[in-house]
Amino acid sequence: MDASTCLKIVTKLLVYVSLVFLIIVTILTGFYIYSRANTKLIIPIVINTWAFQNSASKSWEILNANGTAIEAVVEGCSTCEISQCDGTVGFGGSPDENGESTLDALLVDGATMNVGAVGGLKRIKQASKVAQHVMENTKHTLLVGEGATQFAIEMGFKETNLSTNSSLHLWNNWKKNSCQPNFWINVTPNPEIKCGPYKPHTLRTLKSKSSGSVINRFNHDTIGVVAIDNRGNIAAGTSTNGAKFKIPGRVGDSPIPGSGAYAMNNIGAAAATGDGDILMRFLPSFQAVQLMKQGYSPEGAAILAMNTIADYYPEFTGAIVVVDKFGNYGAACYGLESFPYSVASSEHSHVTVMHVKCQNSRPQYQ
């Protein structure tokens, strides 16, 4: 074969390869454009944990009137704080060992990745609105305890006692019941039968920290809200009074960004509820959002986020709601029978309470 024939064959081959390449690229681009055009947008939308319909209804009213996702989350959480949803959000619930109610709240702006949060907020009822001030009026992300209270007062909030007859009644009964249940381990006197004060015991074998009977389906709930507004901006937030009979100073998962809630405009958002001392070790809301980035559906991301925790803590109780940027949503739960959550969107003319069945066991790692 002479050089010119060889050149002709190579040129022909190159033309064929280029043509095939061009055809493949055109087909793939076509598929991409087709799938994008057929991705139905279900926005605006709001989803919140549990059957807190008043909250979803307030958030929806805001989104429907062209309000922002941030406003919808703050107002949804605030509605629960005012109406003391289930006694586990807002004032007058979950007294700590001293009988005091303290509040945790979080707000995540998925458009700017700005975050505001308060933990162990004392004597101020509007935790979500204080978290909004942390986001809008400081360069900080999380303020806690007395400092958060002083900040709130400076921002114009009224100081008030968060205890109610019912929270004091609950606390008195707990004291009468030898301070059972409580969150202590490896201390003396034996925390399973006696009240404190406690001291660390000197035994060499320490009981391991486990999830367990203290936080369960009967004694906790957090409102977690995820919202997408008309402009496609996404926000998420939480509000809770934490765990009943917590050790004073305890802050749960709810005000921790990525744990209680998380949002990113180009992906979606998530919000969690349940045993916060366990949840916060795994950042389930962050994980769910990252899983969607990798291609998981909201439901798939929710299930995997819960399973990751259950693999280590089979007695853990928790749930998560997840939405992608198109408004597709899903939820998953573990350690409960079923988990109700509230949805309002252009697809539902009124707030709908959905239920998802929970997993209760996982194969265990050794």
Rounded-to-integer distance, Cα 73 and Cα 127, Å: 12
Q: How far is the CB of 274 from ligand ASP (least distance, A)?
A: 5
* Residue whose Cβ sits closest to ligand ASP: 276
> Please, which residue, 78 or 102, has the CB nearer to ligand ASP?
102
The single-letter code of the amino acid at 240 is: T
Query: Is 233 or 273 the residue whose CB approaches ligand ASP more closely?
Result: 273
Task: Respond yes or no: is residue 202 known to be catalytic.
Answer: no
Please, what is the minimum distance in Å from the beta carbon of residue 202 to ligand ASP?
30
Q: Closest distance between ligand ASP and the C-beta of residue 77, in Å?
A: 13
Q: With respect to ligand ASP, which residue has the nearer C-beta, 312 or 326?
A: 312
Dihedral over alpha carbons 316, 281, 287, 62 (to 10 degrees): 80
Return the number of the residue (58 or 220) whose C-beta is nearest ligand ASP.
220
Question: Least distance in Å: CB of 82 to ligand ASP?
Answer: 18
Whole-angstrom distance, CA of residue 346 vs CA of residue 63: 10
Question: What is the smallest separation between the CB atom of 42 and ligand ASP, expressed in angstroms?
Answer: 26
Which of 70, 56, 354, 317 lies closest to 212, judged by CA? 317
Residues that bind ligand ASP (CB under 6 A): 220-222, 240, 242-243, 252-254, 273-274, 276
Q: Which one of the listed residues 68, 102, 149, 222 is annotated catalytic?
A: 222
Q: Edge to edge, what strands does the sheet with 318-324 contain?
A: 261-264, 268-274, 318-324, 329-334
d(CA 86, CA 139): 33
Instruction: Give the nearer residue to ligand ASP in terms of CB position, either 218 or 365.
Output: 218
Closest CA to 319 of 261, 365, 363, 267: 261
Just list the catalytic residues: 222
